[in-house]
Amino acid sequence: MYDSGKIIVGLIIGVGLLLFPFYYNAGKAAKAPDPQLTPKAKEAKVCVETTEYMRSSHMSLLDTWRHEVVRDGKRYYTASNGKVYYKSLQVTCMDCHSNKSKFCDQCHNYLDVDPYCWDCHIEPKENN
């Protein structure tokens, strides 16, 4: 091929840069996320929905809530177990899960997820 020297050198540099995250972190494992419940959350036993559902879908639940509260004016949520909750991240969710850095941030930081909710919604004040 034409310019084979330049191409091959370029390929090696490119693939090397592409694979950098893998061989830089080879052999090390990041600490698994360890979300901890507050005493209030443990006492409540169950969240708005089941743990499995919350683990997989709390983002879409919050998204639906945000749409329904602001745009439709429907501020109360009837959970599948019949209980009625006030749809609010700050007031309802953070009431039980007030340890954001030990609960929410554990998984979010591990997966490098940075939800912009906290740009506006006030984080609960933690003591440490």
Site residues (vs another protein, CB under 8 A): 66, 70-71, 73, 75, 88, 90-91, 116, 119-122
Please state, in angstroms and rounded to a whole number, the distance separating the CA atoms of residues 109 and 100.
11
Q: CB 45 → another protein: shortest distance, Å?
A: 25
Distance CA 85, CA 62 (A): 13
**Alpha helices, DSSP H, located in the chain:** 4-18, 20-24, 39-44, 51-67, 94-96, 104-110
Q: How far is the CB of 15 from another protein (least distance, A)?
A: 27
Structure tokens belonging to residue 9 = 């050198």
Q: Which is nearer to another protein, 49 or 68 (CB)?
A: 68
Taking the complex as a whole, the smallest distance from the CB of residue 122 to another protein amounts, in Å, to 5
Nearer to another protein, 111 or 122 (CB): 122
38 vs 110 by CB, closer to another protein: 38
Q: In the complex, what is the shortest distance from the CB of residue 92 to another protein, in angstroms, rounded to a whole number?
A: 10
Report the residue number, 110 or 124, with the smaller CB distance to another protein: 124
Q: Sign of dihedral through CA atoms 117, 119, 125, 128? A: positive
Cα separation, 72 vs 57, whole angstroms? 21
